[in-house]
């Protein structure tokens, strides 16, 4: 393992080797697995060059890791892709030569996933949000641009949370309805909770439509209930999910 990774390719190479070894695979076996998942070009020789980080006379890696390769290795090894370049718990600072290099891997992780703004580690040891202008004094504020374009990532997080809560509330309502009947207090309470969760999903969907994002389709019950209670700004934009018929 590189004792002091010089760049993200070095770091990813260390992590690929670490997870390969953890699984008891040699390089030939990893190459075979990469071929099985659709990347036959990641041969034993390619993996050797990537892992060893062979350098030229100037000390630069002869073989950097591409984004395609990073995702392929992550899939082949069963590892979240970001963990190959930002290994949480293994180091305190990222080795990128760019300005954000030096951040703690978890902050860098949250920046990449749109949860934290672009920032840099100052010489005083503190992290500062980067509010400089892109392209010079007349350009756009980096933090301003980030706030604008990162908004959809927050919407998707809200959507995932709303979906999970609604699924649970819908199941509970169905259970209490079957067990206690339509008019029982337990059923009415469960229905109110279901409608509250449905409203949260509708809010997330409305935000997606506001940003021009493609909205997913849902079961007829959820869609019809959102339409009935006029929760959607554009009811026609949310389609009912219809499983494809098996033609085999």
What pLDDT does 237 receive?
A: 95
Residue-wise pLDDT tens digits, 89-139: 988 999 988 999 999 999 999 999 999 999 999 999 899 999 999 999 889
Beta strand extents in 23-137 (DSSP E only): 119-121, 127-129, 133-134
**Superfamily holding 1-85:** lambda repressor-like DNA-binding domains (1.10.260.40)
Q: What CA–CA distance (Å, rounded) separates 183 from 199? A: 22
Residue linked to tokens 């760019």: 98
Torsion 222-227-230-231 (CA) sign: positive
The structure tokens listed for 91 are: 């180091």
What pLDDT does 246 receive?
A: 62
Residue-wise pLDDT tens digits, 211-244: 999 999 999 999 999 999 999 999 999 999 988 7
Q: Quick check: 65 pLDDT over 90?
A: yes
Q: Quick check: 1 pLDDT over 60?
A: no
Q: Quick check: 88 pLDDT over 50?
A: yes
The residue that leads in pLDDT, 67 or 55, is 67
Give 217-245 as a DSSP string.
PB-HHHHHHHHHTT--SSGGGSPBP-PPP
The structure tokens listed for 187 are: 């059923």
Q: Quick check: 58 pLDDT over 80?
A: no
Instruction: Kindly indicate the confidence band of residue 247, based on its pLDDT and cuts at 50, 70 and 90.
Output: low
CA atoms within 13 A on the CB side of 30: 28
Residue-wise pLDDT tens digits, 13-34: 999 999 999 999 999 999 999 9
Domain ranges of the chain: 1-85, 149-237
């Amino acid at each position: 393992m590189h004792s002091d990774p010089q760049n993200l390719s070095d770091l990813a190479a260390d992590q690929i080797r670490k997870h390969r070894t953890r699984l008891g695979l040699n390089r030939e076996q990893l190459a075979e697995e990469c071929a099985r998942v659709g990347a036959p070009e990641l041969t034993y020789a390619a993996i050797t060059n990537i892992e060893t980080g062979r350098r030229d006379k100037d000390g630069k890696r002869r073989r950097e890791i591409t984004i395609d390769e990073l995702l392929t290795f992550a899939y082949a090894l069963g590892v979240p892709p970001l963990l190959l370049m930002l290994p949480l718990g293994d180091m305190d600072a990222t080795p990128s030569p760019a300005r954000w290099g030096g951040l703690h891997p978890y902050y860098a992780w949250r920046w990449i996933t749109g949860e934290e703004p672009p920032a840099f580690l100052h010489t005083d040891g503190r992290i500062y949000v980067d509010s400089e202008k892109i392209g010079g004094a007349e350009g756009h504020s980096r933090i301003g641009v980030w706030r604008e374009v990162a908004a959809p990532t927050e919407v998707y997080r809200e959507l995932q949370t709303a979906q999970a809560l609604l699924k649970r509330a819908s199941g509970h309502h169905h259970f209490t309805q079957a067990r206690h009947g339509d008019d029982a207090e337990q059923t009415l309470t469960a229905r109110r909770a279901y409608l509250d969760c449905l409203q949260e999903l509708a809010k997330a969907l409305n935000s997606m439509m506001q940003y021009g994002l493609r909205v997913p389709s849902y079961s007829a019950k959820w869609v019809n209930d959102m339409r009935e209670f006029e929760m959607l700004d554009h009811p026609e934009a949310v389609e009912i999910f219809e499983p494809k018929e098996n033609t085999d």
